[in-house]
Each structure stands twice: as C-alpha cells, then as structure tokens.
C-alpha cells in the first residue's frame, strides 16, 4: 500500500464505523526507526511476502542513528552522515511515515502521529512493534536545560564538535585570561560508555587541534569528568575501569567520582563536592530513560517506564497475561535476561539488534501459526574507544584488552554491526583516508543557524550618529 494512502484509508474506515474493517493483508506497525525498528522490519520483510503482511515504520527522522559511532562523529573520525542509515534505502518494500508518535491505544489498535507539518492523524494496525528507544534522562538541575548539550543524536554529536572547536577558535584571539579559561573548559557529566567515549574522543581531537594555534598550549585545555558513582564504565571489570581512569588522568583530565552536578546557571558549574568553576561547554551523558510517550499509552509498564515483556518479546501485563498482537524490544522494553536470572537485558546496541531480529522471526512464526521462541544472548563483550589508537575491551567476560588492539576491536566490531554495506564501505573509506591525511579540525558552528549572516545583511542600516533627527530639523525650521 502506498504511504500516502495509509492515513486516508484509516480515516475513511473510522468515519464508516468505530471499528476498522478487516484487512485482507494484516498491517504491522513498527514504532521507531532505530535499531529495533530497522532490523525488525527488515527481518519481517525477509520472512514475509507483501501478500502476507504490510509493514509500516513510524519515526520523526528519516534515518536510523548508530549510537556507538557518535563519539567518533563528534571527533571528526567519521563523517556525521555515515553514522546514520537512510530508512528508505535500508527498508525496501516497507512503508515509512515520518512523524512523532504521540499516543498509543492498543485496545483500539490505533496509533496517533504528529507530522512535522500539518495536523495529527491516526492509523490502525493488526500487530504492533514498540521500538521507541530511549531519551536522555535529565534532572531538575538549575541551568542544565539552558546550558548543556545532550549526546543521543548525530545532531548533538556534531554540535559538541562544533562547540569545542569554536571555543578554541575564539579563545585563540581572546586576551582576557578569565574569559579564555572559561572558553577552554569542557565538562562531561556521566561516566558510562557514552560519556567516557565522548570525552576520550573529543579531548583527543581538541589536543590535536590546539597544535595549529600558536597562541594556545595543550595545557590551556581543561577537560572535566563528573560521575555520581565511585567508578566508571560499569559494563567492564573494575580492572579495566581503573586502567581507563589512569589513562584519562595521564592526559590531565580532571575526574570527580561520587560527585554530582548541582547547578550550571549561566555556565557557572557547581559540583556537590563544593568545586566551582566557569565553563562554556557542558555535555550531558548521565543515563537514559524509556521514551516518555509510553506513558500516554495503555500498554503495561514497569516502574522505570519500560514496556514489560516475556523472553519471547511479547508484551505481558502484571498478571503475566500476554497482550495480544503487541511486541517490544530495545531500550524501551524490559526483557528478562535468561542467562542472568532476575536481571533484564541491558540497553545497548548489541541486545537491541539481536532482539529486533529475533522479534521479526517470532512474529513471522506467529502469523504462520507457529510458536515463538525465547530470546537469549550471551554477551560477547564490551569495547570502548578512548581516542585515536586508544581503547579498552572485555571479550566474553574474561579476555581483557587495552590500548591499540582494543581500539582496533572497537572499530572492527561496530563497523560490522553498522547496517547496510553502503555505510560500512563509506566508514572504512574514511578511516583509510585518515591514515594518510591529517585530522580535520574545522568548526562549522554556523550550520546551527545558517540564516544568521543573511539576517545581518538584510537588516536596515543604522542612522549615522552625526545625522540630525527629523524632529530636530522641523523644530529649527520653525
């Protein structure tokens, strides 16, 4: 069914009767175009022909972002366009609707969508896949919303890069020592994988950039990590976490553990350990939470706002009863970890991609009157980049790797997990070029407000200071 017909067909059905007419081909609506949405829709289309199911993916963005590569995009090691996979290219024979999901009424098999332009509309479905992912978990900290930059999207990663390089540019022509100190202070809040990788990559980029500024010295840069727990990188062993701390401290990165950000009004940072300083750049990577739109649904949620699921990835209520025709996976789903009883699968790309493929297989089985199987995956390990040729990795829970080899493992694992060969090849080509060419250290901060120079050129000229106002001329004339 063509995409443009979806809303009109449903509108006609809703006007005719309160319940939509049965469809000859069941419609599967996939909420979210991230890892879960892309991989589950692709697996379903591989398993089911167009006459067996119509598949619709709904997302406000026309692409999937591969989050593990955001730190390298922020450092300029990968072009920002290459860490996203265009949904229309990756999903053949799948309908795409670009808009924000604002309501889910599963009892009525209806989803409400708000497009970027125009009025909201609803579509109906026969089967639902919830893959809405997560959003940044923020706290009511004074100044946070006004001053900080998140690190969940490619737009934010590029904004961090442009902000850091711009502050270096401006500081090189600033003679006020206090203003320069503020410009060259960069704060990263959160010591998980996202925060440590972002900090390691961006600091490495900034140190390389400063070499081109004779007015500045690498010692002028001040990078600060703030983490509320007593350790960093909880996904790996304490040994590797300690090694990472040692590496960061050798790079003169200031680390505050068991410390919280108390406020950052007007860029004045106050930490819970009474340390205070000014900074123009604050990057927030302190955790995620399930997409809040789930609160406006009739789906069963746990105390963290995630959809409750069985290991089969079917949504289940508090009594253990399967919610018919509803499935979920990824960051917004509480999926039991069968290999770690009493635990849930962690919210990472490794599980999201595998859950999505398993979900697609299970739904295809159910549509063919077969029984779904339980999802179980043994963690193959965790890898983290700390900048060019620096990294840590823990493979299969036992093998610990650090330094250049861990960095190679990080790149190898994630480039193979990147969807579509188009993106794999572009990323590897960029890496190959970087081996022979110097790192790009150009700030394109003006792209965040591309009309600024045009507005300035279009503004009415100001009157000359020595020109007499009309009222004064009239008065003298009298």
Q: Among positive and negative, which fits the CA dihedral 21, 22, 27, 28?
A: positive
With a cut of 70, say whether residue 46 has pLDDT above it: yes
Rounded to an integer, what distance in angstroms lies between the CA atom of residue 334 and that of residue 351?
Answer: 12
- The mean pLDDT value for 151-158 works out to 94
Reported confidence tier of residue 6, pLDDT bands at 50, 70, 90:
low
- The mean pLDDT value for 427-451 works out to 81
Reported confidence tier of residue 397, pLDDT bands at 50, 70, 90:
confident
Rounded to an integer, what distance in angstroms lies between the CA atom of residue 346 and that of residue 335?
Answer: 9
SS3 content of the chain, % helix, strand, coil (to 5): 40, 25, 40
Reported confidence tier of residue 145, pLDDT bands at 50, 70, 90:
very high
With a cut of 90, say whether residue 357 has pLDDT above it: yes
With a cut of 80, say whether residue 383 has pLDDT above it: yes
With a cut of 50, say whether residue 11 has pLDDT above it: no
Reported confidence tier of residue 379, pLDDT bands at 50, 70, 90:
confident
With a cut of 50, say whether residue 105 has pLDDT above it: yes
Distance, C-alpha 393 to centroid of its chain? 22
- The mean pLDDT value for 46-75 works out to 94
pLDDT for residue 15: 42
- The mean pLDDT value for 182-189 works out to 97
pLDDT for residue 468: 52
The dihedral over CA atoms of 162, 165, 169, 175, expressed in degrees to the nearest 10, equals 110
Distance, C-alpha 455 to centroid of its chain? 32
Mean pLDDT is lowest, of 84-98, 204-218, 360-374, 440-454, for 440-454
Reported confidence tier of residue 69, pLDDT bands at 50, 70, 90:
very high
- Grouping H, G, I as helix, E, B as strand and the rest as coil, residue 114 is strand
With a cut of 90, say whether residue 165 has pLDDT above it: yes
Rounded to an integer, what distance in angstroms lies between the CA atom of residue 132 and that of residue 111?
Answer: 13
With a cut of 90, say whether residue 453 has pLDDT above it: no
With a cut of 90, say whether residue 373 has pLDDT above it: yes
Residue pLDDT, tens place only, 247-260:
999 999 999 999 99
Distance, C-alpha 92 to centroid of its chain? 24
Tell me which of 115 and 440 has the higher pLDDT: 115
Reported confidence tier of residue 22, pLDDT bands at 50, 70, 90:
low
Reported confidence tier of residue 13, pLDDT bands at 50, 70, 90:
very low
Distances (CA, A) of 281 to 141, 160, 267, 450: 16, 8, 8, 21
Specify the DSSP class assigned to residue 180: H
Rounded to an integer, what distance in angstroms lies between the CA atom of residue 273 and that of residue 224?
Answer: 14
Query: What is the residue-wise DSSP string for 352-402?
Result: HHHHHHHHHHHHHHHHTT-----------EEEEE-STT-EEEEETTTEEEE
pLDDT for residue 455: 75
């Amino acid at each position: 069914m063509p995409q443009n017909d979806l809303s009109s067909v449903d509108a006609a059905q809703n006007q005719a009767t309160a319940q939509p007419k049965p469809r000859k081909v069941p419609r599967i609506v996939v909420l979210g175009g991230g890892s879960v949405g892309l991989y589950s829709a692709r697996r379903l289309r591989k398993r089911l022909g167009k006459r067996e199911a119509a598949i619709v993916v709904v997302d406000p963005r026309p692409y999937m972002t591969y989050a593990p590569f955001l730190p390298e995009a922020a450092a300029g090691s990968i072009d920002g366009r290459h860490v996203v996979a265009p949904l229309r290219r990756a999903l053949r024979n799948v309908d795409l609707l670009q808009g924000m999901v604002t309501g889910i009424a599963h009892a009525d098999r209806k989803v409400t969508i708000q497009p970027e332009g125009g009025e909201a509309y609803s579509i109906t479905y026969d089967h639902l896949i919830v893959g809405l992912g997560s959003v940044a978990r923020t706290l009511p900290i004074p100044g946070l919303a006004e001053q900080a930059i998140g690190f969940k999207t490619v737009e934010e990663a590029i904004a961090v890069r442009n902000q850091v390089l711009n502050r270096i540019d401006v500081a090189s022509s600033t003679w006020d020592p206090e203003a320069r100190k503020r410009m060259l202070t960069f704060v990263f809040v959160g010591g998980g994988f996202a925060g440590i990788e972002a900090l390691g990559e961006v600091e490495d980029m900034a140190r390389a950039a400063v070499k081109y500024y004779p007015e500045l010295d690498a010692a002028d840069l001040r990078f600060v990590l703030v983490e509320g727990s007593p350790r960093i990188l909880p996904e790996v062993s304490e040994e590797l976490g300690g090694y990472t701390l040692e590496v960061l401290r050798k790079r003169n990165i200031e680390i505050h553990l068991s410390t919280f950000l108390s406020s950052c009004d007007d860029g004045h940072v106050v930490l819970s350990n009474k340390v205070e300083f000014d900074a123009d750049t604050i990057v927030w990577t302190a955790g995620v939470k399930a997409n809040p739109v789930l609160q406006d649904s009739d789906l069963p949620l746990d105390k963290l706002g995630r959809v409750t699921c069985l290991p089969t990835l079917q949504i289940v209520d508090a009594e253990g009863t399967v919610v018919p025709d509803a499935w979920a996976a990824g960051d917004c789903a509480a999926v039991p970890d069968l290999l770690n009883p009493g635990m849930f699968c962690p919210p990472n790309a490794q599980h999201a991609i595998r859950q999505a493929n398993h979900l697609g297989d299970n739904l295809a089985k159910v549509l063919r009157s077969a029984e779904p199987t339980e999802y179980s995956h043994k963690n193959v390990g965790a890898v983290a980049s700390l900048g060019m040729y620096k990294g840590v990795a823990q493979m299969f829970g036992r093998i610990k790797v650090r330094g250049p080899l861990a960095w190679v493992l990080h790149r190898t694992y994630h480039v193979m997990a990147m969807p579509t060969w188009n993106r794999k090849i572009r990323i590897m080509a960029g890496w190959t070029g970087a081996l022979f060419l110097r790192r790009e250290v150009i700030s394109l901060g003006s792209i965040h407000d591309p009309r600024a120079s045009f507005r300035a050129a279009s503004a009415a000229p100001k009157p000359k200071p020595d020109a007499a106002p009309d009222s004064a001329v009239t008065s003298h004339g009298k």
